[in-house]
Amino acid sequence: MKRSTWNMNIQRGTYPVEDRGLRFELAADLSPGVGTSCVWIRGENGLGKTTFLERVVIARLKADGIDYLYVGQDIRTQIYTLRAMLSVRGHHVFGTDEKELFRLWIGQSPTARVLILDEFDKYFQDYRFVFDWSRAFIQTYIVVSHAGHQRMFPSEDRLAVHPVLFTASGYDGGVKRVRILLEQPWSF
Amino acid sequence: MAIYDVKQLLDRYDSGYLIVDFNHPFIASTLREEIWLLEHRDDSAMLEGIAQAAAAFQIAPVDKDRDIDTYSGGEKVILACLLMLAVIRARRVGGIKLLLSNVIDSLSENNREILLEKFHQSASDLGLRLFVGGNHSIEEIDLEHEHTARNLSR
């Protein structure tokens, strides 16, 4: 089982990602705490939500030595990788449907503390199964979704939700400035 | 809903539908090249039209030679849809059935509404019909109803 005193903490400040022409301005510390929580990220298209995940959040997790699972937007390609990786580890994956692949993948990663889903709801209207299979060890869920987080978390689980909003803040010499606002957390 | 296998998608629907799939929105590496593949020539007027249409969305300005992979996922599918609409309009093809696979949910609410309005214009002019879904089932979007609902909510 999980539980540690680790707490993801991405400090407020400016995060330039020059090769993508982006500069993130994080308005407050992104620190969801040690309880099970969901960081729900939303914002207009093209504001670098995925870039922020890959270049800031995952960079932080790597620096902290925290294991994580990441399901990217272009999942079709990733599915092949999952299939290959599980096959190498001795799982029977031929003819296995996608939900079962995810179950196997999540199940063989019990040291992960963070699960990142980038617009996973494009593919599954209801993906509470991901939560059910991972809740024993995942501490922080990071979900990018235009639709909301309700498709993943059952209402009976009183999960702390930390809404994060990406907003355009203008251009500065060809660099897009993106302000990242942390809204009031809530439980549901 | 599911993660659509593009081969299955094509096997099932390519005889009747023009398909825009989130995971495969472009073949070429720039918008200019993609237009060249479709039109067999440089078409600066089409490119300009797409750039103008894209300005209505809350996305970065379009650059004809920008690497497609540097656009975000949502930006890519917006451009792919605008390109399809431009080609349909340039060829004056009526009654096209356009199938969007995993596209709509990748858009912010604002951008989704703007895109549906673009489709509504082509539905009125060219009889375009819009479908969403994939391997297991698809459904038609009632563009007229969506258009009316948008106007009422303003």
- pTM of the predicted model as reported, rounded to 2 decimal places: 0.88
Identify which of B4, B59, B105 has the shortest CB distance to residue A119. Answer: B105
Using alpha carbons, select from B77, B85, B84, B86 the residue that is nearest to residue B59: B77
A168 pLDDT above the threshold of 50 = yes
Q: How many domains does chain B have?
A: 1
Q: How confident is the model at residue B1, as a pLDDT?
A: 39
Q: Which of A20, A41, A45, A144 to mutate to test the interface with B (most CBs of B within 10 A)?
A: A45
B13 touches chain A (CB under 8 A): no
CATH class of A17-187: alpha beta
ipTM over 0.85: no
Within 8 A of B109 by CB-CB distance, chain A residues are: 146
Evaluate whether residue B62 is within a structural domain.
yes
pLDDT in tens, A21-43: 999 999 999 999 888 899 999 99
pLDDT in tens, B15-71: 789 999 888 899 999 999 999 999 999 999 999 999 999 999 978 788 889 999 889
What percentage of chain A has pLDDT greater than the value 90? 65
Evaluate whether residue B1 is within a structural domain.
no
Which of the four pLDDT bands, split at 50, 70 and 90, describes residue A10? very high
Q: Which residues contact A155 (CB under 8 A, 6 or more apart)?
A: A188
B7 pLDDT above the threshold of 90 = no
Range of the structural domain that residue B87 is part of? 6-153
HEC-encoded secondary structure of chain A: CCCCCCCCCECCEEEEEHHHCEEEEECCCECCCCCCEEEEEEECCCCCHHHHHHHHHHHHHHHHCCCEEEECCCHHHHHHHHHHHHHHCCCCCCCCCHHHHHHHHHHCCCCCCEEEEECHHHCCCCCHHHHHHHCCCCCEEEEECCCCCCCCCCCCCCCEEEEEEEEEEEEECCEEEEEEEECCCEEC
Mean pLDDT confidence for A86-101: 89
CATH code at B86? 3.40.50
B119 pLDDT above the threshold of 70 = yes
Evaluate whether residue B134 is within a structural domain.
yes
pLDDT in tens, B67-118: 998 899 999 999 999 999 999 999 999 999 999 988 998 999 999 999 999 9
Q: Which of A105, A117, A118, A122 to mutate to test the interface with B (most CBs of B within 10 A)?
A: A122
